[in-house]
Amino acid sequence: MEIVFATGNNGKLKEVREIFSDLDVKINSLNDFKENIDVIEDGKSFEENALKKAEEVQHLLKLPVISDDSGLEVEQLNRAPGIYSARYSGEDATYEKNNQKLIEELKKFQQPHLAKFVCAAAFSDGINRLVVRGEFKGQIISEARGKNGFGYDPLFLPEGLDKTSAEISSELKNKISHRAKAFNKLKEMLIENKLI
């Protein structure tokens, strides 16, 4: 069976392929198609955005699609940056500018800055739609540490660890992350519902 993962991010593709590797499914990404696909993420939640991506790409390619939407929620910032995580510091956002803005915003508050990464993973085959959520809890520290991962990883100290998610190995992060949890859940539901 062939499934399309609605992403152009090869890092995410590798993680998700690994999660589905014990099943007889071939997972392609948007990079494998010539169509220029750009889904506007204008939903009000991670779940809405992930479902929108899965359904629009399914409609275009006529194949079963999995998708995700993720971000960081910080308690003291009323769950910001949330669904706006990628563009937190503005239109010309970079990971570094986003991290700098996060450090600045949190200076007004006392430690610990409790936070979590959230990932919604969705599926659509044109008839059935599924969406699930995975969370990765921790706190935000005030100085970046580590070179692995991406995005807010250098500032994120996972619960129970003394290393940031940019200091741990990608193997460990792929076991405990919000994305790993969401896609493992989605996989179980697809199997239960005999959709793969």
The correct pick among 15, 47, 73, 153 for binding ligand IMP (CB under 6 A) is: 153
Beta carbon of residue 7, minimum distance to ligand IMP (angstroms, whole number)? 8
Q: Is 164 in the site for ligand IMP (CB under 6 A)?
A: no
Q: Which of 68, 69, 125, 153 is catalytic?
A: 69
Binding mask 49-68 for ligand IMP (x = CB under 6 A): -------------------x
Polymer length in residues for the chain: 196
- Give the number of other Cβ atoms within 10 Å of residue 23's Cβ: 14
* Structural tokens at position 181: 């949890």
Beta carbon of residue 16, minimum distance to ligand IMP (angstroms, whole number)? 12
Is 69 considered catalytic here? yes
Angle, helix 10-19 to helix 178-192, in steps of 10 degrees: 50
Binding positions for ligand IMP, 107-126, rule CB under 6 A: 117
The site for ligand IMP, by CB under 6 A, has a size of 15
The correct pick among 15, 69, 73, 167 for binding ligand IMP (CB under 6 A) is: 69
Q: Is 85 in the site for ligand IMP (CB under 6 A)?
A: yes
- Give the number of other Cβ atoms within 10 Å of residue 187's Cβ: 21
For 66, residues 6+ apart whose C-beta sits below 8 A from its C-beta are 3, 4, 5, 6, 16, 27, 54, 121, 122, 123, 183, 186
On whether the CB atoms of residues 2 and 35 are closer than 8 A, the answer is no
Which residue type does 129 have?
A: R
State which residue, 64 or 151, has the beta carbon closest to ligand IMP: 151
Contact footprint for ligand IMP (CB under 6 A): 68-72, 85-86, 98, 117, 149-153, 177
